Amino acid sequence: MKVYKDQFEQVAKKEGVYHDFLLYMYNTYIETLVLRSIDFRVETAETRYLKLLTIQPDEVRSIPLQYVASYLGISKERLSRIRKKHSELI
């Protein structure tokens, strides 16, 4: 079953709990986007990779290289070099 945003917002207007939940989700999403944007500006690709590896090691190891590279904003070749440099962590 799918719940569309406008349907959820209509229910949220009627029920305060859903409104609070929706507001929390929006705030969390915006905070995540802002932090990610800051990371892209101030951290190197290598630092972002190591941070991601620390936070979500199982996902980094199981997701195909091209998708991890895309998430980090680098080429898969560059990610491969970074991974080789830190092979003891993998």
pLDDT 10s digits, 1-38:
777 888 878 887 888 787 888 889 889 999 999 999 99
At residue 44, does pLDDT exceed 90? yes
pLDDT at 53: 94
Amino acid at 38: I
- Distance separating alpha carbons of residues 68 and 3, to the nearest angstrom: 29
What are the backbone angles phi and psi of residue 3, rounded to the nearest 5°? -120, 120
Mean pLDDT of the chain: 90
Percent of the chain with pLDDT over 70: 100
Residue appearing with tokens 């991890």 = 68
Q: How many helices, marked H, and strands, marked E, lie in the chain?
A: 6, 0
At residue 46, does pLDDT exceed 80? yes
